[in-house]
């Protein structure tokens, strides 16, 4: 995998000193000592699975180590390292799968794809809310939508932190579709709410789908909490449309297909 020119050199986790290890985000002195002790007793880490066996290295921490570190020559010798070390930056579907006795792993291809999909979707939803808010005239509706937009931005930040990843450079096809649909549809209060109802349906479905996959417990709790926010959003929008007597048009097929 070709690395960006500006990329800082990765830390070789098989030779790193305690000082070098603690320079990695999330690695404190105790974790660094456990990593060094584990490799001293059992030999070099030949795969990310090996590193995951170190006490205190959960799925989230492993993702941060993958982002900043490598397994050096030991991984190359075992044939498991080159792609794995870059998994945190690779396209979600290309990540190396791993298994854990505790269940899902954040490095698992399916889990990574689900979480990256949620990150992109939350970003798209926040942008769509910004468009919808600009079209609204009623202060109480604008205020409520501002709160929903802030929720989506928070969700994106929290999930990125869980992955130890940088924000994606641009929206995916689904995100672009959401934004275009909102820009075309949201002209005033009623059409803004109708547009955001369709967007929230997509977001709710995506979170429900993610919860049906294997996720580390810490990430699952975060996704569950975010999903409760999404359910609250769509309940409020549905109730507002109902009480104001605003008719709902069908969601365009292009938006449904993007889901």
Q: In this structure, is residue 98 part of a structural domain?
A: no
Q: In this structure, is residue 246 part of a structural domain?
A: yes
Average pLDDT over residues 62-68: 80
CATH classification of the domain holding 71: 1.10.150.310
Q: In this structure, is residue 101 part of a structural domain?
A: no
- If asked whether residues 124 and 246 sit together in one domain, one would say yes
**Of 73, 88, 60, 67, nearest in space to 15 by CA:** 73
- If asked whether residues 186 and 249 sit together in one domain, one would say yes
Q: Is 245's pLDDT higher than 90?
A: no
State the helix-helix crossing angle for 189-211 and 139-163, rounded to 10 degrees.
30
Q: What range defines the domain where residue 48 resides?
A: 12-89
- If asked whether residues 184 and 67 sit together in one domain, one would say no
- Please tell me the predicted confidence (pLDDT) of residue 90: 34
Q: In this structure, is residue 35 part of a structural domain?
A: yes
Compute the distance between CA of residue 116 and CA of residue 160 in angstroms, rounded to an integer: 8
pLDDT tens, position by position, 92-128: 333 333 333 233 445 467 777 888 889 999 999 999 9
CATH classification of the domain holding 187: 1.20.1260.10
Q: For the whole model, what pTM was predicted?
A: 0.55
Q: In this structure, is residue 137 part of a structural domain?
A: yes
Q: In this structure, is residue 248 part of a structural domain?
A: yes
- If asked whether residues 46 and 131 sit together in one domain, one would say no
- If asked whether residues 57 and 179 sit together in one domain, one would say no
Pure H helices in the chain: 18-22, 29-42, 48-52, 59-68, 72-78, 82-85, 109-135, 139-163, 173-185, 189-211, 217-244, 253-258
Cα dihedral 40, 43, 46, 48, rounded to 10, equals -40
pLDDT tens, position by position, 215-226: 888 888 999 999
- If asked whether residues 191 and 249 sit together in one domain, one would say yes
**Of 51, 29, 227, 34, nearest in space to 122 by CA:** 227
- If asked whether residues 34 and 132 sit together in one domain, one would say no
Query: What is the total count of domains within the chain?
Result: 2
């Amino acid at each position: 995998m070709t690395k960006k020119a500006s990329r800082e050199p990765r830390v070789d986790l098989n030779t790193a000193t305690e000082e070098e290890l603690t320079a990695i985000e999330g690695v404190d002195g105790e974790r660094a000592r456990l990593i060094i002790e584990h490799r001293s007793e059992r030999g070099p880490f030949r795969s990310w699975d090996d590193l995951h066996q170190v006490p205190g290295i959960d799925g989230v921490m492993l993702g941060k180590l993958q982002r900043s570190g490598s397994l050096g020559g030991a991984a190359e010798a075992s044939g498991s390292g080159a792609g794995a070390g870059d998994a945190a930056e690779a396209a979600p579907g290309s990540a190396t799968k791993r298994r854990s006795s505790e269940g899902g792993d954040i490095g698992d291809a399916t889990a990574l794809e689900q979480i990256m999909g949620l990150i992109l979707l939350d970003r798209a939803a926040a942008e769509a809310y910004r468009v919808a808010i600009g079209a609204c005239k009623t202060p109480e509706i604008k205020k409520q939508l501002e709160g929903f937009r802030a929720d989506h931005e928070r969700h994106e930040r929290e999930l990125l932190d869980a992955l130890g990843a940088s924000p994606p450079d641009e929206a995916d096809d689904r995100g672009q579709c959401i934004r275009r649909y909102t820009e075309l549809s949201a002209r005033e209060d009623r059409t803004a709410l109708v547009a955001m109802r369709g967007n929230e349906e997509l977001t709710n479905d995506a979170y429900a789908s993610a919860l049906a996959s294997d996720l580390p417990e810490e990430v699952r709790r975060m996704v569950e909490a975010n999903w409760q926010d999404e359910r609250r959003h769509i309940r409020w929008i549905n109730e507002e449309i109902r009480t104001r007597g605003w008719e709902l048009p069908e969601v365009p097929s292009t938006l449904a297909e993007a889901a």
